Amino acid sequence: MRITRLSTHVVGTPWRNLTHVLVHTDEGLTGVGEARMLGHTDALLGYLAEAERNHVVGSDPFDTEDLVRRMKYGDYGRAGEIVMSGIACVEMACWDIVGKALGQPVWRLLGGKVRERIKAYANGWYTVERTPEAFHAAATKVVERGYRALKLDPFGDGHYELDRAETLRSVSLVEAVRDAIGPEADLLVEMHGRFNPATAIRLAGLLRPYDPGWIEEPCPPENPRALAKVAAHTDLPIATGERIHDRIEFRELFELQAVDVIQPDISHIGGIAETRKLAATAETHYVMVAPHNVGGPVLTAANLHLAACTPNFSIQEHFNDFADAAIKQVAPGLPEVVDGYFTLPREPGLGVRLDVEACARFPRQRAKFDLFAENWHLRDPERTASRDAAGA
């Protein structure tokens, strides 16, 4: 079996575009992969067009190790977000093809299941005004939907520091959410790399009474020692990793004992097997894995296959029950979250099928998402006032 061509289909929403890649073979089987890019969709499509002729066409989809190696190193330049995302789309599509050819779900090809269901947490649910009352009502809907875990970034457009008024406001939002979901549900706090270490440490102390399951990316990802400083001054678990694009770059985090939960994004770190290798390394450091996932049903399916066979998997992020729920129709077959858990995919391959006609109903948009803009959490550019506009 040989790969004959790639085709791409971009599904658009106001705040994110989802790039789907179909890998076609000479035996008629196709596989699908997906990546969500922030502001770099054209760059990803351009890379895929070059990689198609330079590396992909003519390859055997069963030989994913060789294909990933050639795509990563065959152009010599150091692979970053764009290249690793392109590799990931093609790699997960190859796993989809292999599973279909063998009549097996991908998780069985990766060593078999170690769990019967996969715990999920909701994100994208707090597209409301930044008041305790609004966040309380929105969080109540999440637990009513059956989720037993949720995540939020309560810090507005905070950057490096947070003034006293915003600190009190942000903590009040976390307090309201904990009150809404009760003591038994998991509350995860996202910081989006906003703060310097001193601010992150101070906020961790203020959040401690609400028992967050982790604080995520408290400092920007470029400086692991800054993160290690935070980890040394709080007993809250530290989570990070969504903006690291090569598993080798996690080495320093492990050596510094700066992280308790890693959050690789399958679609930005080279695909399913690369993430599985990283998870195995994390296991040797007693670090848990909770993959970052802002994708649609194809990428979510890939995450479920990884979760099924990964002993140190913790919990899976999911947006599409609250943000852009309609896009689930572009790839039918994904299990629904029931009582806070996904069931294992059972169909061959990834278990979802890209509906090209459905994709056309969600044309690409001028998606813009700035986490340092006022009201970014609304995930609606028309309702988000940028700092520049506010200052004009």
Catalytic residues, by residue number, are 192, 292
Distance between CA atoms of residues 155 and 256, nearest Å:
27
Which residue, 49, 45, 67, is CA-closest to 1?
Answer: 67
Beta bridge partners of 119: 341
Type of residue numbered 32: V
Write the Ramachandran bin of 239: left for phi over 0, alpha for psi from -120 to 50, otherwise beta: beta
* Alpha-helix runs per DSSP H in the chain: 41-51, 64-73, 81-102, 106-109, 132-144, 164-181, 197-207, 224-232, 251-256, 272-284, 297-309, 356-360, 387-391
Which residue, 44, 34, 37, 42, is CA-closest to 82?
Answer: 44
Interhelix angle 224-232/197-207, rounded to 10 degrees, is: 30
Which residue, 315, 312, 356, 309, is CA-closest to 332?
Answer: 356
Q: In whole angstroms, how far apart are CA 35 and each of 13, 30, 39, 253?
A: 14, 17, 12, 25
Helix (H, G, I), strand (E, B) or coil at 268: coil
Strands 261-262 and 238-240 turn out to be: parallel
Type of residue numbered 81: E
Which residue, 318, 299, 328, 306, is CA-closest to 21?
Answer: 299
